[in-house]
Structure 1
Amino acid sequence: MTGADVPRPAQTAPGGSRRTALLRRLTGRELEAYLVSGAALVVGALGLFNVTSPEVVAAATLAVLGVITFDLLTGRRRLRRIESTLRTLAGNLRGDGADSVDRLLTPTVPGGAVGVAGARDIRLVGVTLSRTIRNHLDELRQQLAAGATVRVALIDPTGTAPQEAARRNGLDALGGGEVFEHRIQPTIDLLDYLAAQTAGAGRLEVRLLRFVPAFGMVLVDPEDPGGRIAIDIYSHRPDGREATVTLRAERDPVWYRHFALEFDRIWASGRVRDEHLT
């Protein structure tokens, strides 16, 4: 096959190419505006040169005015929709459009909002932490055996914190301080069990607080980009469940850092308990 026999793509005339490009650039709104303007010019020319009767010109004029009025109304509706969308977007950027608190706060067993499997740095804060330690006991044992660091802060059973916890829960008139002292002892026993199971692989640190923390926390690898913090919001006279919110380092940087620093402050104020612990 010679060069002359090779098929060549059809070429569009320069004028046709320009017309096609122009039509592509025209939106529906632009075409509508051109058509209305053209119709208005035609009606004006008909009336100016007496080409047709005045009645026809008047009817055509009313029709053009009606189209223009309808176009204006449609444009205003579109403008209102755009304004509404922009207000919604601005509200979301300001935080006004945040998700429902019913979905942000979830009822759960204290400490159960996040898992600790695979974590290298686990930090716990609470009043007695009895259910939290019990629910995560096997995971904590496995992570300590794998070399993780676990830090636990709970109230000091030998100070005034148990009485303060009882008062906050409405149990002070019933000798509630002793109730909290008895609740803490099983937690201490479980922590001693965990310390004995680590065999020196991981590190378990416990500090006792002379005050009652305002909330409970489970921090999982808090210094990593994928870290998580579950915050248990304590209730006065709890009914068996607590409100919990989970923060993520990449999603909630401001409040995540706030509560991570709160742990550091709580931890610094605690008394070291090192009996039987590694």
Structure 2
Amino acid sequence: MRWLRRIGRDFKARQHMDAYALTVVVFAFAFLSIFSDSLDENLRWAVLFSGVGLLLYRLTLPDEPAESPAGLLHDRSVYDVVPLSSLLAEARDVRVFAPSAVNLLSAQTCELMRNTVLARERGKVRIVILDPLEKTAVRQAARQLDDSIEFPVQRLPAALDSTMERLRLMRGWRTAGGFEYRLLSYSPGFSLVLVDPETPRGRVIVEIHGFHNASTSSRMHLELTRGRDERWFTYWLNQFDHMWEAARRDDVTPSSVEVPRPASADVAEAQE
């Protein structure tokens, strides 16, 4: 029923808790009054007047404004006003999917994650990107993400190589929190950022890649919250979970990466 779903949403978002608490008390006293006359008269009046007082107080509150489309729909320019650092300040669970994630995983953002999410005992960061070994999928994604941009500033294959190097370095960090990444076999046409999605303050940011864009920063974003958009919030949360399960782990370990050896004295002399 709709009213039950509405109550469930209010509880998840911690809204109108005073009204629900007083409603429970009022109904409890009404029920007890049916079967017992031993309840104190003054207590009954106190409960009654509390309910009337709360009702009058709520009548004086202004109507909640309808959600502005600007709060739901935007592009990357919104992060000039509300920087990513404000989303990660208290976060303990961050999940990301992007074909290369090269823009998100800048040196500054990685350092921010290390000092916030990954610095917490139960903090965790999970990243999924396109598998660079899936050459056909990379070429197809490059057509959409590179060739359809009027003013490109980077290319997907090079961006993937840069991100892979950064992810492998981050995997070696020693932090209180946990860091993992996986590789997906194709790009589904969107990117995701989820912040604390299992909590009432959870937030999901969906970037739709589209068919043609002036620039990467002009793509449409949907910003969903659990309390306001429960159905589609859960939908995109499940999308990430399915991608995480379908993606593979990187089989390159730090020990298998070739490290240049210093030249011997004989070689150095020969070069001189």
Say if 1:248 and 1:149 are closer, same or farther in 2 by CA, change over 3 A.
same
Q: Secondary structure at the match of 2:172?
A: helix
* Matching residue of 2:16: none
* Matching residue of 1:265: 242
User: Aligned AA for 2:158?
Assistant: H
1:107-137 CA distance string (max 9 Å, x none): 2159866722221111001111001111522
Q: Secondary structure at the match of 2:125?
A: strand
Asked if 1:248 is matched to 2:222, the reply is: no
Distance in structure 2 (CA, Å) of the matches to 1:161 and 1:269: 15
Q: Secondary structure at the match of 2:87?
A: coil
1:207-235 CA distance string (max 9 Å, x none): 11111122111101111111111111113
Deviation at 1:103, TM superposition (A): 5.1
Deviation at 1:274, TM superposition (A): 5.5
Which of residues 86, 90, 113 in structure 2 aligns to 1:140?
113
On the 8 A contact 1:123/1:150 being kept in 2, the answer is: yes
Say if 1:276 and 1:170 are closer, same or farther in 2 by CA, change over 3 A.
closer
Asked if 1:179 is matched to 2:155, the reply is: yes
TM-score, with structure 2 as normaliser: 0.57
Asked if 1:119 is matched to 2:95, the reply is: no
Q: Highest CA radius of gyration, 1 or 2?
A: 1
Say if 1:109 and 1:272 are closer, same or farther in 2 by CA, change over 3 A.
farther
Distance in structure 2 (CA, Å) of the matches to 1:276 and 1:101: 45
- State how 1:1-278 maps to structure 2 within 5 Å: 99=67, 101=69, 104-108=72-76, 115-134=87-106, 136-142=109-115, 143-147=117-121, 148-159=123-134, 160-169=136-145, 171=147, 179-197=155-173, 199-240=174-215, 241=217, 242-273=219-250, 275-276=252-253
Deviation at 1:169, TM superposition (A): 3.7
Q: Secondary structure at the match of 2:187?
A: coil
Say if 1:256 and 1:170 are closer, same or farther in 2 by CA, change over 3 A.
same
Say if 1:273 and 1:234 are closer, same or farther in 2 by CA, change over 3 A.
same
Say if 1:116 and 1:181 are closer, same or farther in 2 by CA, change over 3 A.
same
User: Aligned AA for 1:140?
Assistant: M
Say if 1:274 and 1:170 are closer, same or farther in 2 by CA, change over 3 A.
closer
Stretch moving more, 230-239 or 159-168: 230-239
TM-score, with structure 1 as normaliser: 0.56
Q: Secondary structure at the match of 1:205?
A: strand
Structure 1 unpaired stretches of 5+: 1-96
Deviation at 1:150, TM superposition (A): 0.7
Q: Name the Cα RMSD after superposition.
A: 3.0
Identity in percent = 28
Q: Secondary structure at the match of 2:236?
A: helix
On the 8 A contact 2:146/2:155 being kept in 1, the answer is: no
Deviation at 1:276, TM superposition (A): 4.7
Deviation at 1:105, TM superposition (A): 1.1
